[in-house]
Every structure is written in structure tokens, then in C-alpha cells.
């Protein structure tokens, strides 16, 4: 399948594979919290203010993963080989099972797919192109959306049936047509997905299986919906506490599961999952235009290839060619531990979405805090369009709009600016991220936005990121802002973040650390910044 901007497709998920750990979908922040400086290394102006401006430089595009198709196929094949069942494993199931793909568009380590194969003679893989994924966001009406799955299924003796419509209409009808005794799917946690599960289940209860359909696994008269957990590194049932009693402080959660829980091994699959049912028309993967969207061309920065194969190749490229080489040549340290640290953050927000339900989408958040937020359209649009007058904010927002990606640190900074300095309703920012992010996930996105806005499960309500300090620490020579805002490249490095009249007038003053003059700004100490803006806060939207 192709790459779409967000939606429940989750096709830009990276998966962590080692011999002893379970993969989980995540977008790895491979910039190591430093605005991808290694990708944006460009010639910079000298410190002399009297030199003429340099001509604009040609935009550079970086593919992720940086591999050719043949290399991606080769790596994918090698990884699959490591996770095949031995030929001794026999298939004992009867009849037909349906595997309903939702946010788990992968073949490897897919327990629902394995269960469907093991409990049947024939597996029917189905993906529903749900029109609700291509609508608008809930409160402010932003666009929701931007595959390889079929290819990987075909390599294992199956195919992918693509149907257009709502799952609650499609799945029961297919179960009746093929006499499927069980429908397997991945369990979700947020209300939109949970409501679909309820409606699919109700539809299945109205289906009567023919008397010829009889299996040891299912003696019921109607098809059964089996929802399996498979979206986190740590399984819900392996936690040392009930999911409703998860600590409200991440550190307590992390330390508890690291000491008391284990990561399960990968679910192995047979090399052949066939045969597929006899279907004349398996349906076409819709084009971007057919979905009512437009294919935005990325003309600079990072361009991402979607799909399971690309994800596996990125894992190989990142872990084995970069991190493991670093550990081998130097030593495993805190920097390499951050990968696991971020994976656990992703798990945490998934479990938090179960504990607090829809409150993660509400204005007051899980803490039900009453705050006065502005919905000033002009202010919000200046943030959205990268026209705030603060280069660090504007560069990040332009990267997001262009590529669908923003670094972990950038996401923290633009959130802090929107809610602290501009006083804008945090939900507007969260919904804009939902529109733009390739790695959008509702639990992580809204968990982090409530966290950053001070209405989530964060003991520090006054979290603030000082732009002067963040610029000084993470982009000291202004290379990042000059890349995304070429008009700043002609300026001396020490002027790029606060260029005075050479750039847009700041749309609002900074709440902390503002000098009050247009010509420049110094990163003076701030009580809040010293407490909450330090580099150890690596916890915003993974």
C-alpha cells in the first residue's frame, strides 16, 4: 500500500526486532533529539554582517530508508526467515477464518493472522477502506488522512481482499458468504475503533452459520469476533497491575514494568499461509485521487517510504548499521537506552487511553482541569503555517507540513509555544498534528498533547520550553532554521534565531525569556525553564 498522512493505517510504523524482544509499531526518533543535524549539514554564512548573501542552495531530499527496492526486499526476506515456524508445526483447524486488518498492516509478528491460520483450513485477509478515515477531525474539521501488505501476504500464499465501506457492513456480509466461523482482529483502545468493534459484533450476531460449519473451536450458530492484543511492547495481561490502576506518573510505570514484566518473544508464522479462498475480484488498492486526497510532493527534507518492508528495512538500517555499530565501536550507554525508553512511553500512552477513555480528547484532559483557552483563528493559523516570527517554531511547522515529520524535541517546543505563549486551545494543535503526521497514533498524540498542555497525567502543570534556550542547545549555529527558512541563511549564525527586522515580526511576546525588543534576544535564566525545559524531557509524541 502507499503512504498516507496518518489515519488508522499506521503504515509508517517501525518495528523493533531482536531475538529476545517483541516488535512494536513506533516511529523511531532517529534524529536523537537534535533536529536531524546530520541531514541538514549545509554551508553557512560567516559571522561578518557585510558579506553579500549567498545564492539559494538546491533542496536535498533524503529517503527513509535510504535503500533501493532490491535491498529492501532482500532485508525483508532475511528477517522473515528468522521468524518462520519449523515444518513440524501442523495446521489442525477447520473451515474458514477471516483476518480483519485494522491498524496492524503487517504479516510478521501478527498473532491475529497466526490464530486465523491455525484455527482454519482457509484464511481470508480483509482490509476495509472506511470512509470515516478520510473525513475531518472531530472538533475543528481538519482533514484526517494522506501498501505493501498485499505483496507480503502474496509471498506467503494469501492475498488481500480490499473492500470499500464500513467494517460493520462488510465483515458480517463476508462471514455469511464464506461461512467463516471466526473473525480475528487486533484489539484497539480508543472510542472510534471500539464503537466499530461493537457494531461489527452486533452484525455478526445476526449471521446464521450453515449447519455444515462445525469446528472444535466454535460451536456457536453465529461467527465469533476474536480480538487479540498486539499493539504494545508489553502485553496488557503481563503488566504487574491492572490496566485501570496504571500509575499516573510515567517513571513509576516504567520502573515497575522493567523490574516485574517481561517482553514476549515474536509470534512465529509458517512460511506458507495458504491456500486463499477462490475470489474472482480481490479489489484494487485505491489511489490517492480516488480517496479524495492529493499526493503532496516532498521537495526537501525527509521523504518516507511506507509499508512493512520499508519499516523492517529502516529497523535494519538504524539498529544494525548505526546503533549496534556505535555500541560495538564504543559502548552501550544512555543514548542507546533511549530507544527502549521511547517504546515504553508509547506503551504507556496506549494503556492510559484505556484508563482514562475519551477524557484524553476533552478540553480538561484526564485531570478535568478548567482552563480558559483561546481559539483565535489568526493566531492559530500563524502557528500552523509557520509564520509566528520565531524561526525555531516556523521551521518545525514548515517541516511538518512538507514532510509529515517533526523531531521529538520540535514537537515539545511547538506545543509549549502554542499553549503557553499563545494561549491557544491545545486540541487545535493536536488535531493539526493528526492531519499532518505520518506517524500519527491517537493514544500517543493526544496523550502527549494533554501532557504538554498540563491537563494530562503530569505532576508539573507549568511545563514550559524556552525558545532561546532550546535554540541555543539544539540548533546553536542556526543550521536547522536556515534550512527550512532559506531567507535566514544570509544572516550570521548568531542572528538566525532572532533576526530582528530581517524576518517576520513575532506575533506574540514570549511568556518567559523575552527581551521586549525586536532586534534580538538573550536566553536568560528562567525558573520554569530550569525546572522543565532541560534536555532530559524526552517525552513528547513519539
CA dist 22 and 190 (Å) reads 23
Average pLDDT over residues 518-522: 38
Tally the C-alpha atoms within 13 A of residue 41's C-alpha that lie toward its C-beta.
2
- The four Cα atoms 48, 51, 57, 63 give a dihedral, to 10 degrees, of -10
Per-residue pLDDT at 277: 95
Q: What is the pLDDT of residues 89-105, one digit of tens each?
A: 788 899 999 999 998 99
Ligand-binding site membership of 349 (annotated): yes
Top-confidence residue, 316 or 144: 316
Per-residue pLDDT at 334: 63
Top-confidence residue, 216 or 314: 314
Greatest alpha-carbon span in the chain: 88
| Polymer length of the chain | 542
pLDDT-derived band at 50 (thresholds 50, 70, 90) equals very low
The residues that bridge with 184 in the sheet, in sequence order, are 99, 226
Most confidently modeled range among 109-123, 130-144, 447-461: 109-123
360 pLDDT exceeds 50? yes
Ligand-binding site membership of 393 (annotated): no
Ligand-binding site membership of 88 (annotated): no
Ligand-binding site membership of 342 (annotated): yes
29 pLDDT exceeds 80? no
Instruction: Report the percentage of the chain scoring pLDDT > 90.
Output: 61
Q: What percent of the residues of the chain are helix, what percent strand, and what percent coil, each to the nearest 5?
A: 40, 10, 50
Average pLDDT of the chain is 80
Per-residue pLDDT at 185: 98
Lowest mean pLDDT among 220-234, 241-255, 514-528: 514-528
User: Which residues in 431-457 are b (16+ Cβ under 10 Å) and which e?
Assistant: bbbbbbbbbbbbbbbbbbbbbbbbbbb
Q: In a 3-state reduction of DSSP, which class is residue 231? A: coil
Ligand-binding site membership of 344 (annotated): yes
Top-confidence residue, 177 or 530: 177
Q: What is the pLDDT of residues 231-270, one digit of tens each?
A: 999 999 999 999 999 999 999 999 999 999 999 999 999 9
Domain definitions of the chain by residue range = 377-502
Per-residue pLDDT at 461: 62
CA dist 382 and 395 (Å) reads 12
Ligand-binding site membership of 35 (annotated): no
Per-residue pLDDT at 304: 86
Q: What is the pLDDT of residues 188-217, one digit of tens each?
A: 999 999 999 999 999 999 999 987 765 544
Q: What is the pLDDT of residues 375-424, one digit of tens each?
A: 999 999 999 999 999 999 999 999 999 999 999 899 999 999 999 999 99
Ligand-binding site membership of 438 (annotated): no
Per-residue pLDDT at 490: 95
Top-confidence residue, 458 or 518: 458
Residues 6+ apart with CB under 8 A from 358: 191
Top-confidence residue, 198 or 4: 198
Most confidently modeled range among 1-5, 240-244, 527-531: 240-244
Most confidently modeled range among 138-147, 237-246, 334-343: 237-246
71 pLDDT exceeds 90? yes
Most confidently modeled range among 79-88, 152-161, 530-539: 152-161
Lowest mean pLDDT among 37-46, 219-228, 412-421: 37-46
Per-residue pLDDT at 329: 66
Ligand-binding site membership of 441 (annotated): yes
Average pLDDT over residues 44-49: 29
Q: In a 3-state reduction of DSSP, which class is residue 374? A: strand
12 pLDDT exceeds 60? no
Q: Please give the CATH superfamily to which domain 377-502 belongs.
A: DNA Cyclobutane Dipyrimidine Photolyase, subunit A, domain 3 (1.10.579.10)
5 pLDDT exceeds 70? no
Average pLDDT over residues 493-504: 95
Most confidently modeled range among 290-304, 321-335, 492-506: 492-506
Q: ∠ CA(412), CA(441), CA(268), 5° rounding?
A: 125
CA dist 143 and 298 (Å) reads 18
Per-residue pLDDT at 285: 84
Amino acid at each position: 500500500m502507499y503512504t498516507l498522512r496518518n489515519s488508522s493505517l499506521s503504515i509508517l510504523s517501525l518495528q523493533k526486532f531482536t531475538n529476545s524482544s517483541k516488535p512494536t509499531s513506533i516511529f523511531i526518533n532517529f534524529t536523537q533529539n537534535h533536529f536531524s543535524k546530520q541531514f541538514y549539514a549545509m554551508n553557512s554564512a560567516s559571522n561578518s554582517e557585510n558579506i553579500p548573501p549567498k545564492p539559494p542552495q538546491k533542496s536535498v531530499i533524503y529517503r527513509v530508508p535510504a535503500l533501493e527496492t532490491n535491498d529492501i526486499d532482500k532485508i525483508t526476506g532475511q528477517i522473515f526467515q528468522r521468524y518462520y515456524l519449523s515444518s513440524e508445526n501442523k495446521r489442525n483447524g477447520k473451515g474458514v477464518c477471516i483476518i480483519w486488518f485494522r491498524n496492524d498492516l503487517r504479516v510478521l509478528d501478527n498473532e491475529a493472522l497466526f490464530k486465523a491460520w491455525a484455527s482454519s483450513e482457509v484464511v481470508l485477509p480483509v482490509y476495509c477502506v472506511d470512509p470515516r478515515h478520510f473525513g475531518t477531525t472531530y472538533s475543528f474539521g481538519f482533514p484526517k488522512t494522506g501498501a505493501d501488505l498485499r505483496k507480503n501476504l502474496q509471498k506467503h500464499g494469501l492475498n488481500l481482499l480490499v473492500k470499500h465501506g464500513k467494517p460493520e457492513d462488510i465483515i458480517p456480509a463476508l462471514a455469511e458468504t464464506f461461512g467463516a466461523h471466526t473473525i480475528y482482529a487486533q484489539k484497539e483502545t480508543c472510542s472510534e475503533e471500539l464503537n466499530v468493534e461493537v457494531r461489527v459484533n452486533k452484525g455478526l450476531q445476526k449471521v446464521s452459520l450453515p449447519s455444515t460449519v462445525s469446528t472444535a473451536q466454535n460451536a456457536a450458530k453465529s461467527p465469533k469476533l476474536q480480538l487479540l492484543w498486539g499493539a504494545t511492547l508489553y502485553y496488557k495481561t503481563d503488566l504487574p497491575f491492572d490496566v485501570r490502576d496504571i500509575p499516573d506518573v510515567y517513571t513509576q510505570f516504567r520502573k515497575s514494568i522493567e523490574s516485574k514484566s517481561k517482553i514476549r518473544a515474536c509470534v512465529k508464522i509458517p512460511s506458507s499461509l495458504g491456500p486463499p479462498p477462490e475470489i474472482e475480484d480481490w479489489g484494487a488498492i485505491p489511489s490517492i485521487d480516488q480517496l479524495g486526497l492529493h499526493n503532496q510532493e516532498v521537495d526537501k527534507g525527509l521523504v518516507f517510504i511506507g509499508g512493512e518492508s520499508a519499516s523492517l528495512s529502516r529497523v535494519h538500517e538504524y539498529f544494525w548499521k548505526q546503533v549496534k555499530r556505535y555500541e560495538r565501536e564504543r559502548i552501550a550507554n544512555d543514548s542507546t537506552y533511549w530507544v527502549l525508553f521511547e517504546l515504553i512511553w508509547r506503551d504507556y500512552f496506549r494503556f492510559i487511553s484505556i484508563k482514562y477513555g475519551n477524557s484524553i480528547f476533552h478540553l480538561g484532559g484526564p485531570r478535568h482541569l478548567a482552563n480558559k483557552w483561546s481559539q483565535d483563528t489568526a493566531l492559530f493559523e500563524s502557528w500552523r503555517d509557520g509564520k509566528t516570527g520565531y524561526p525555531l517554531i516556523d521551521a518545525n511547522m514548515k517541516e511538518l507540513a512538507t514532510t509529515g515529520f517533526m523531531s521529538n524535541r520540535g514537537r515539545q517546543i511547538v506545543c509549549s509555544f502554542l499553549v503557553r505563549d499563545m494561549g491557544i486551545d491545545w486540541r487545535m494543535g493536536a488535531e493539526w498534528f493528526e492531519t499532518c503526521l505520518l506517524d500519527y497514533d491517537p493514544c500517543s498524540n493526544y496523550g502527549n498533547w494533554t501532557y504538554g498542555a498540563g491537563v494530562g497525567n503530569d505532576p508539573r502543570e507549568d511545563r514550559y520550553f524556552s525558545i532561546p534556550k532550546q535554540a541555543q542547545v539544539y540548533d546553536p549555529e542556526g543550521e536547522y532554521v536556515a534550512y527550512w527558512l532559506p531567507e535566514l541563511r544570509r544572516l550570521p549564525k548568531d542572528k538566525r534565531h532572532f533576526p530582528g527586522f530581517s524576518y517576520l515580526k513575532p506575533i506574540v511576546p514570549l511568556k518567559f525569556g523575552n527581551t521586549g525588543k525586536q532586534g534580538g534576544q538573550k536566553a536568560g535564566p528562567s525558573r520554569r525553564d530550569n525546572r522543565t525545559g532541560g534536555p532530559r524531557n524526552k517525552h513528547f509524541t513519539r
